[in-house]
Amino acid sequence: MNKKLALKTLICRLILDIAPEVDIESLDPNEDLREELDLDSIDFMKLLEAVSLETSITISESDYDKVQSLQSMVNYIENRT
């Protein structure tokens, strides 16, 4: 549980580095991140790069559909660490 929370905090911090205007508290963790937070393709790519850098987990292109929401991204990283 703590690991999940730590990952969630980390990803939220990385989102705020890229898009500091977003209201991260009101983000539904199960909704599409890009749509909910108005992130474009470049933002999303930078987010995945930052997540990979911080966690040493590479998110391959074929798994992009598994990291569309905050919750699914947390689960994805957790399952690979």
**Applying CB under 8 A, which residues contact another protein?**
16-17, 19-21, 32, 34, 38-46, 61-62, 64-65
For another protein, which is the closer residue by CB, 56 or 58? 58
Closest contact distance (angstroms) between CB of 49 and another protein is: 10
For another protein, which is the closer residue by CB, 4 or 38? 38
- DSSP structure string for 2-32: HHHHHHHHHHHHHHHHH-TTS-GGG--TTSB
Closest contact distance (angstroms) between CB of 3 and another protein is: 27
